[in-house]
Copies of this chain bind each other. A is one copy, B any other.
Amino acid sequence: MQNCGHEEEHHLAAQRAARNMPEEEAILRVSAAFKAISEPSRLKILFALRHGEMCVYHIVEAVGGTQSAVSHQLRILKDNRIIKSRRDGQNIVYSLADEHIVAVLELACSHLKCEL
Contact = CB atoms under 8 A, between A and B. Distances in A.
Interface of A: 1-2, 4-6, 9-18, 20-22, 24, 26-31, 33-35, 37-40, 43-44, 47-55, 57-59, 61-63, 81, 88-91, 93, 98, 100-101, 103-105, 107-112, 114-116
Nearest to A34: B38
B104 A17 contact: no
A20 B47 CA distance: 9
A22 B115 CA distance: 8
A100 B111 contact: yes
Which of A9, A16, A55, A98 gathers most chain B CB within 10 Å?
A55
A114 B18 contact: no
A40 B28 contact: yes
A27 B41 CA distance: 9
